[in-house]
Structure 1
Amino acid sequence: MDQVDERVPRANEMRGLTAAFVARLTVRHRLPLDYSVASLRVVDFLIDGLRKGGADRERARGTLFGLGAYVGEVLVRRAGAVWVECDAHQRACFGQPVGVRMPDGRVWNPLGKVHNRFEAGGPEESLHTFYLTLHGRVRRAAA
């Protein structure tokens, strides 16, 4: 997998960081990361592969950040979210510098959600299911 920049990101940098990560990952591994909701299943699969491959959290940190940024960007593009800087309380709670604010005002932590999937595994930590059950997202009308 691929690493990302080690410095603390800003909310206004997340789209670019995510695009660069996805470009590197898809060129090397030909993965279908197209920012669709269905692509979150690929993220689940990738994280499970890291776990099964024996990666420790520190070694996988950059890849997990990139995958978390990708999940956040799916929320931005598909659910109406926006990247935001976490305030002091949110940083203490989430352990992350950025999150996404949903249209209803709730702030979610996709970076942390990816870490939870890595640590716990299991279907209850699925990122695809996270999106489908997420409160506050814009629901698209069926065509």
Structure 2
Amino acid sequence: MEERAAQLPDARGMQNYTAGFVTEMSERSRLPLDYTVASLRLVDLVVDGLRRNRPVRSGVDRFLSGLGAYTGEVMVRRAGARWVDLDDGQREMFGQPVGVRMPDGRVWNPLGKVVKRFEDGPGESVERFYLLLHGRQPRKARRGAVQRAACG
């Protein structure tokens, strides 16, 4: 975990970290990472492609971290979550330094979910993780919050 933790910023830096990863992947691979829920299916497919040749995980950790950060940022933008620095117990349990907190207070581990997809395969779908996510803010409430934020 320490090697991965050293690569990841704290919660305040996750949005910029994710944006950099998305820019790099868009330029390099033309991946349409557009922060939509539908794009999480693409995350599953990319992870499956990474695991196809059974590489050593350390060789793909940077990509897994980026895809996990992207998944978390979709949760932030689409489900009303926010990035949080995990406490010591959560870091030990999740194996990550950051996670997302949902509007209902639950903390989730999108970075770890991508790692599980890599390690365990299609039974660990990132897309399904989002679709079954507890604690999402209702769509109508999110739209109102965005409109209020845009107005002042």
The ranges of structure 1 where at least 4 consecutive aligned residues each deviate by more than 6 angstroms after the TM superposition are none
Identity of aligned residues (%): 59
SS at match of 1:33: coil
Aligned position for 1:86: 86
Q: RMSD across aligned C-alpha pairs, in angstroms?
A: 1.5
Structure-2 separation of matches of 1:121 and 1:53? 13
Structure-1 separation of matches of 2:137 and 2:41? 20
Structure possessing the higher radius of gyration over alpha carbons: 2
When normalised by structure 1's length, the TM-score is 0.91
Structure-1 separation of matches of 2:54 and 2:74? 27
5+ residue gaps, structure 1: none
Aligned position for 2:62: 62
Alignment map for 1:9-20 (pairs within 5 Å): 9-20=9-20
SS at match of 2:139: coil
5+ residue gaps, structure 2: 141-152
Aligned pairs, number: 137
CA distance 1:17–1:137, change in 2 (3 Å): same
When normalised by structure 2's length, the TM-score is 0.86
Aligned position for 1:137: 136
SS at match of 2:72: helix
Deviation, 1:6, is 4.7
Deviation, 1:47, is 0.1
Q: Which has more helix, going by share of residues?
A: 2
